[in-house]
Structure 1
């Protein structure tokens, strides 16, 4: 099942241009906690992607994982992590899937990622039970101001990645039962139509269940929490010479069966 938000209501996607609103639920997480027979669906409606709103509007926590792809760690000259490298994006950076993004500085970079959404929270969740606590997955863009990120000798991540609209998510949430094999899904980033990133999720170092487990050993996960799970090689800072986003650029981030984010850089 694919579920978006439209006109302030959960909206079940039927195909690329049609869906139905859920009349008796307020959020996507509410819909997933309903028995299918209890969902009150409205009539089928045509939609365009720019009508879809931010799928998860008020997460209590937004986690992000650094260096979670082997090739990306190599391109930025960092040793592979022994445990997940966690930082946060502030929730005020989140945005819908079609959005204008104002570049904060001359070193604005892209990072397309798969984002896991927590359905049922808890502490000390086992790896084996990790997927049971996940509502679904979606595409996320961890836009980054590298100048802010690397301003100090010891990099700090959260501030450089939390400017306005630096966290587009969507266009909808896809439940994991829709995907035959998550490892086969491919992340692709394009700038003005040119492919910059392209890699299967099988390159991830720490899987989504492993990340759910690790995070829950420290924090209490809560329904609606987001986990940005890391990006593969091909970021602007990893190119030689380096490439960064500038006003007028069109940035897209997609994952094979999860949809595409569309960002206009201003």
Structure 2
């Protein structure tokens, strides 16, 4: 399938930008929106693709080069070879799947680690009258919590206090341990949108007040819609970030409120564990969560939650 010239002109906006400043540019210099998807008539056949602008479709990288793997995690493990192939696929104008035939999946579905950061927005700390942390507060979700950008959030019978948290997430692109802060962005494949759905009763009162169980019910980590490569963002730490519940804005801030930015988080966590391609980091939420409203507000069946970050996109999940 050959695309008209205006398709190719738009696609060139996602071409490779070479830069000596790899610490800022990330794993590679390519400016792309990578997605994990399946065709609607081929559920279960996971593919990695590159999203074109203005709803023009998705370039199927496996169709372009059959030697490429099926999943995003495996694709990231191929390093520069995979990214170079993605660039060539974009430039070719071939292997485009029309958007109505695409079902977007989470950008990563099988990470070794889902690393989360608590209390990482200054305005969120002020909302709680809590002190600014002196070091990153780290917890985790299980990978089984991850769900797609437009999939349902399932209310568990075990909780009556399920809450929303829009977050900037990033994905590790190459293996590293004891990573220096000034080199940290070179280990990041890109950024995406997350909802750190939280069962506040389990987080704040049950199970010794440890956070894990309240954060990791199935479907409690909607992720997507795309993995936007680091080079495609002007500044990941100066983006508007917001959450809407049934169309009403409940969170509205900027990632410039982050206390510990991406570089610090990568360096900090890599002291303790080896980071690997596909590892997901959730970087904290701004104010406006339901538990601190007066009176508290929690998610109910039928509610639609939208999490949005400028330059990255929107995820939209219905509570069932």
Per the shorter chain, which TM-score range?
over 0.9
* Ranges of 4+ aligned residues in structure 1 off by more than 6 Å: none
2:146 pairs with one of 59, 83, 94? 94
Gaps of 5+ in 1: none
2:167 pairs with one of 113, 124, 148? 113
Query: What corresponds to 2:214 in structure 1?
Result: 160
In terms of Rg, which structure is larger? Answer: 2
Would you say 1:10 and 2:72 are equivalent positions?
Answer: no
Contact 1:50 1:97 in 2 (8 A): no
Contact 2:61 2:95 in 1 (8 A): no
| Cα RMSD (Å) | 1.8
Query: What corresponds to 1:71 in structure 2?
Result: 123
Alpha-carbon offset, residue 28 of structure 1: 3.0
Query: What corresponds to 2:58 in structure 1?
Result: 19
Distance 1:106 1:152, change over 3 A: closer
Gaps of 5+ in 2: 1-31, 39-45
Contact 2:37 2:102 in 1 (8 A): no
Query: What corresponds to 1:182 in structure 2?
Result: 236
Would you say 1:55 and 2:80 are equivalent positions?
Answer: no
> What whole-Å deviation, never above 9, does each CA across 1:161-187 have from its counterpart, x for those lacking one?
111100011111000111112232111
RCO greater where, 1 or 2, for CA within 8 Å and sep 6 or more? 1
Query: After alignment, is 214-223 or 41-50 more displaced?
Result: 41-50
- Equivalent residue pairs, number: 266
Distance 1:102 1:49, change over 3 A: farther
Query: What corresponds to 1:28 in structure 2?
Result: 72
Alpha-carbon offset, residue 153 of structure 1: 8.9
Distance, in Å, in 2 between the alignment partners of 1:33 and 1:169 is: 24
TM-score (norm 1): 0.94
Contact 2:199 2:215 in 1 (8 A): yes
Contact 2:305 2:316 in 1 (8 A): yes
Alpha-carbon offset, residue 78 of structure 1: 2.5
Counterpart secondary structure, 1:223: coil
Query: What corresponds to 1:150 in structure 2?
Result: 204
**Structure with higher helix content:** 2
TM-score (norm 2): 0.79
